[in-house]
């Protein structure tokens, strides 16, 4: 199983989702590869936002070694599931899909927490540290749901 997390810049939400899931699959010794990407190339090659790194350190999930990259069409071949943080990311990723098989891999991450809710992980970039903490907690819960599904063989 290979899972890709996607947001706009790949410096706040998707690296945190990536960090959470990476840590959980490692702790549980699950055979899952995790990565993340942004729909833009704005932050290519850089570490996550300092505020997201600090929040990760504060609550126990470090992400400082991750580096931003842009989503590419080959990611449809390299990953089984592509979790987007909001509907704009979803639209942008779907616009690059080549066929139905590609499209079926693309999901909104919070639909794992609240099925069919189609809610967004709020973009914390212009927000406060509380917004970063909220993103951390939301993605901790969403990745717990993903882990449960993987363990129960229910991830499609
Ligand atoms: P992310 O947050 O998509 O969660 O990484 C953002 C990062 C950068 C920008 C916007 C959102 N930006 O406008 O540069």
Q: Is 108 helix (H, G, I), strand (E, B) or coil?
A: strand
Q: How far is the CA of 1 from the centre of ligand 1 (A)?
A: 27
> Is 123 marked active-site?
yes
- 62 found inside a domain: yes
Is 56 a residue whose pLDDT tops 70?
yes
Residues 148, 132, 104, 42, CA torsion sign: negative
Q: Is 125 in the pocket of ligand 1 (CB under 6 A)?
A: yes
51 is catalytic: no
DSSP state for residue 70 in the 8-state scheme: B
Range of the domain at 101: 2-151
Domain count, the chain: 1
Say which residue the tokens 């717990």 belong to.
Answer: 144
Q: What CATH number should be reported for the domain holding residue 7? A: 3.40.50.2300
Q: pLDDT, tens digit, for every residue of 95-121?
A: 999 999 999 999 999 999 999 999 999
Would you say residue 156 lies in a domain? no
Across 135-154, average pLDDT: 96
Q: Which residues have CB under 8 Å from 41's CB, separation 6+?
A: 70
**If you average pLDDT over residues 61-76, what whole number do you get?**
98
Residue 7: what pLDDT?
Answer: 98
- Tell me if 131 is assigned to some domain: yes
- Quick: pLDDT tens for 29-53: 999 999 999 999 999 999 999 999 9
Q: Give the whole-angstrom CA distance, residue 83 versus residue 17.
A: 9
Cα end-to-end span (Å), the chain = 10
* Structural domain contains residue 20: yes
Q: What is the pTM of this model?
A: 0.98
Q: Are 66 and 47 in contact (CB under 8 A)?
A: yes
Q: Ligand 1 pocket check: which of 46, 47, 125 to mutate, most ligand atoms within 8 Å of Cβ?
A: 125
pLDDT at 155 over 90: no
Determine which residue's CA is closest to atom 12 belonging to ligand 1: 9
Active site residue 27: no
């Amino acid at each position: 199983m290979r899972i890709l997390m996607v947001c706009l810049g790949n410096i706040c939400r998707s690296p945190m989702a990536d960090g959470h899931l990476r840590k959980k699959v490692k702790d549980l010794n699950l055979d899952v590869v995790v990565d993340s990407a942004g729909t833009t190339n704005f932050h290519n090659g850089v570490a996550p936002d300092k505020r997201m790194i600090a929040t990760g350190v504060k609550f126990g999930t470090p992400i400082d070694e991750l580096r931003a990259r842009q989503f590419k069409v080959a990611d449809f071949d390299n990953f089984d599931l592509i979790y987007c943080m909001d509907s704009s990311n979803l639209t942008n990723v779907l616009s690059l899909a080549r066929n139905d098989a590609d499209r079926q891999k693309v999901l909104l991450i919070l639909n794992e927490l609240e099925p069919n809710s189609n809610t967004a992980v709020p973009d914390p970039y212009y927000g406060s540290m509380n917004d970063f903490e909220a993103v951390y907690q939301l993605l901790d819960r969403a990745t717990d749901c993903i882990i449960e599904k993987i363990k129960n063989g229910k991830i499609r």
